[in-house]
């Protein structure tokens, strides 16, 4: 069993790390404070091919795999989660449905702009009464004169309201016992993006509610066979959990990096606090837990890339890394003491950003259900 990354993957890791440290880190605090979307950073990531890492070159992607994608997400989250989730939601949730379930015509129309990062994709699943109970979709779409007429609402949707947003793939009830997925382009009459939420964290990412009022899209905007929406979005969520798990590892590693650097330079009682056993124990536990979680994420990515079942491992990785990110961020703040509560220090932002990783892409409780069912319980 080889635990070393292939040369190409290691090169990608180093490249993304240099980009994150050189171009993202200097502006991350300001973007968060000003709640400003990182347009220039997203543009650069698109030019570098990172907004389409796991997609084949023939559809405009970088020709990479899930492991390469997870590495890039991890390195971005190590510095800033808002940038990481922008890439993550675009790739796993916005672009994957069209790549996996779209017709040749849909792929030709949308994938070149999405995989290049010229346009952002979004995925509209969550509703006021359909969160963890994802099958309780209330948004409806009826077929009328060759068009789908959509009425309903979505909430907590990422990437739908920026100036470069291109489309949202939504779940809608197309019959009493039938859920389907539909492509709704930005600018479609009857499709409105609400004001951005005021959030605890991820302040530089775009998250807002969506409403559909008599919104009409062509019948050809149906994704895959009618009525396959439930099965489709479960598969999309499985894939998305690998990306969010990579975010958890990255945030935890970033928290450890910051805590270690601070502990080595902060002096108390005449010596660096890193020499105190209590601080060393915190750092050691964080390091061991991060390494174990990282291997679990990479296993999930490798299973998917090998075409093997990965639902269980992705849920385990998501559950493990979300909790770990919260714990490591808290410990990093504790090691910083009073400075950890000051916004100028990255660990304060990490602390706020971490909690959503136990909620988004399926709560911890949902992951436990997925894991238990996979075990046959």
First to last CA, the chain: 30
Same structural domain for residues 236 and 352? Answer: yes
Going by C-alpha positions, the residue among 132, 110, 216, 106 that lies closest to residue 172 is 216
Same structural domain for residues 243 and 152? Answer: no
Query: Tell me, what CATH number does 155's domain have?
Result: 2.40.110.10
Give the residue-averaged pLDDT of 81-108: 97
Residue 4, pLDDT > 90, answer no
Q: What is the pLDDT of residue 131?
A: 77
Residue 2, pLDDT > 80, answer no
| Residue 54 belongs to a domain | yes
Count: domains in the chain: 3
Q: What is the pLDDT of residue 143?
A: 96
Q: What is the DSSP letter of 22?
A: I
Residues involved in catalysis: 361
pLDDT digits (tens, 9 = 90+) for 264-302: 999 999 999 999 999 999 999 999 999 999 999 999 999
Same structural domain for residues 197 and 251? Answer: no
| Residue 1 belongs to a domain | no
pLDDT interval class at 377 (50, 70, 90)? confident
| Residue 234 belongs to a domain | yes
Q: How many CB atoms lie within 10 A of CB 107?
A: 18
Of 67, 93, 115, the residue at which a domain comes to its end is 115
| Residue 333 belongs to a domain | yes
Residue 239, pLDDT > 80, answer yes
CB of 129 within 8 A of CB of 103?
A: no
Residue 343, pLDDT > 90, answer yes
Query: Tell me, what CATH number does 70's domain have?
Result: 1.10.540.10
Of 181, 207, 227, the residue at which a domain comes to its end is 227
pLDDT digits (tens, 9 = 90+) for 134-154: 788 999 999 999 999 999 999
Q: What is the pLDDT of residue 29?
A: 97
Handedness of CA 135, 136, 137, 141 (dihedral sign): positive
Same structural domain for residues 285 and 193? Answer: no
Based on DSSP, count helices (H) and strands (E) in the chain, helices before strands: 12, 10
Same structural domain for residues 207 and 283? Answer: no
Same structural domain for residues 275 and 368? Answer: yes
Mean residue pLDDT across the chain:
96
Global pTM?
Answer: 0.95
Same structural domain for residues 49 and 155? Answer: no
Taking the C-alpha atoms of residue 352 and residue 198, their distance in angstroms, rounded to an integer, is: 13
Same structural domain for residues 127 and 180? Answer: yes
Q: Which domain range does residue 17 map to? A: 7-115
Q: What is the pLDDT of residue 3?
A: 85
Same structural domain for residues 350 and 259? Answer: yes
Q: What is the pLDDT of residue 183?
A: 98
Same structural domain for residues 220 and 129? Answer: yes
Query: Tell me, what CATH number does 317's domain have?
Result: 1.20.140.10
Same structural domain for residues 239 and 360? Answer: yes
pLDDT digits (tens, 9 = 90+) for 7-49: 999 999 999 999 999 999 999 999 999 999 999 999 999 999 9
Same structural domain for residues 168 and 282? Answer: no
Of 227, 247, 275, the residue at which a domain comes to its end is 227
Give the residue-averaged pLDDT of 310-324: 98
């Amino acid at each position: 069993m080889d635990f070393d990354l292939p040369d190409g993957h290691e090169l990608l890791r180093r490249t993304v790390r240099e980009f994150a440290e050189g171009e993202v880190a200097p502006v991350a605090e300001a973007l968060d404070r000003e709640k400003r979307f990182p347009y220039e950073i997203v543009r650069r990531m698109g030019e570098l091919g990172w907004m389409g890492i796991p997609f084949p070159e023939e559809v405009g992607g970088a020709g990479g795999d899930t492991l390469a994608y997870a590495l890039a997400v991890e390195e971005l989250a190590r510095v800033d989660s808002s940038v990481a989730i922008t890439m993550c939601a675009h790739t796993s949730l916005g672009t994957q449905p069209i790549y996996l379930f779209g017709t040749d015509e849909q792929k030709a129309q949308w994938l070149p702009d999405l995989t290049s990062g010229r346009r952002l994709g979004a995925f509209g699943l969550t509703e006021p009464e359909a969160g963890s109970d994802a099958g309780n979709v209330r948004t409806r779409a009826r077929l009328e004169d060759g068009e789908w007429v959509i009425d309903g609402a979505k909430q907590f949707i990422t990437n739908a309201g920026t100036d470069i947003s291109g489309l949202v793939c939504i779940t809608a009830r197309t019959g009493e016992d039938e859920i389907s997925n539909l492509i709704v382009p930005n600018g479609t009459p009857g499709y409105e993006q609400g004001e951005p939420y005021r959030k605890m964290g991820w302040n530089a990412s775009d998250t807002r509610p969506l409403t559909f009022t008599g919104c009409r899209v062509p019948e050809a905007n149906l994704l895959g066979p009618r009525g396959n929406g439930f099965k489709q979005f479960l598969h999309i969520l499985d894939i998305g959990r690998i990306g969010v798990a990579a975010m958890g590892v990255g945030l935890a590693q970033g928290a450890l990096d910051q805590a270690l650097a601070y502990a080595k330079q902060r002096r108390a009682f005449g010596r660096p606090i890193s020499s105190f056993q209590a601080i060393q124990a915190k750092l050691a536990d964080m390091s061991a837990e991060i390494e174990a979680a990282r291997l679990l994420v990479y296993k999930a990515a490798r299973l998917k890339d090998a075409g093997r079942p990965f639902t269980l491992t992705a849920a385990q990785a998501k559950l493990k890394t979300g909790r770990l990110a919260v714990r490591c961020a808290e410990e990093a703040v504790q090691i910083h003491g009073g400075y950890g509560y000051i916004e100028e220090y990255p660990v304060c932002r990490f602390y706020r950003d971490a909690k959503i990783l136990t909620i988004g892409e399926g709560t911890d409780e949902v992951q436990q259900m997925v894991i238990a069912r996979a075990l046959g319980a």
